[in-house]
Amino acid sequence: MIRIVQLYPRDMNLYGDWGNARVLQKRLEWRGIDAEIVDHNPGDDTDLGSGDIFLGGGGQDAGQDKIQEDLQHHIDELGRLVEDGVPMLLICGMYQLLGRTFVTGEGKIITGAGILPLDTRAGTDRLIGNITLESEEFGAIVGYENHSGQTFLDDTVQPLGKVVRGAGNNNTDGTEGVRLHNTIATYLHGSLLPKNPKIADFLIAKALERRGIPTENLRSLEIDALAHTAQNIATERPR
């Protein structure tokens, strides 16, 4: 049984991010592997250490405020999980919150989890629309961004991809997202995984490897033809 843990889905679930969990569950089940989705919301007594894949979505400022205390309580454990190579996909708000700091438009510094080596500051413009990336690891990546935060990575980490169309991390340096160990963090909503099966299978493969389950023969799925069609259509849609 592969355990997919959703972090704070009650408050951090904008623009279809919950769909990422369903994609992982179905892709595992189609390959004959049982999977369960476990939600962790503020105050829950969840055994995070038993999770195989972690997902976190985007949320409004009010949602981020609601989870701050619980997130601080679990910082050390989440940090160990990232360092240990547990696969994670963190979208938008959770991407920002696991960084070091977020500087508001008024100059207030909000301390993040400090797990990801990056800082974010509020921008004056909202970066919104369809976005396309190119990644050496995953090829073409498509999604939808909607954020005003401007995120800047340390030189010690690589972005998820280079922006082909859209704004990305900060609308300045042409990068989008971050890759650290087996964690992927990004501003791409959509939900992301239905249109990007290579990323979904990366998360699955890393989870199986940690369980000692061979991944060499992860069979391809016929439905991926539809996913690639959706990806092509999304690429051609206007910004």
Cα(first)–Cα(last) distance of the chain, in Å?
Answer: 40
154 vs 233: CA distance, rounded Å: 34
Catalytic residue (one of 92, 147, 181, 228): 92
**CA-CA distances (angstroms) from residue 106 to 97, 98, 158?**
18, 21, 30
Catalytic residue (one of 74, 181, 189, 228): 189
Q: Name the CA dihedral angle for 131, 135, 137, 142, rounded to a multiple of 10 degrees.
A: 20
Task: Give me the residues paired with residue 110 across strands.
Answer: 102
Residues 6+ apart with CB under 8 A from 224: 197
Is 228 one of the catalytic residues?
no
Is 92 one of the catalytic residues?
yes
The residues annotated as belonging to the active site are 92, 189
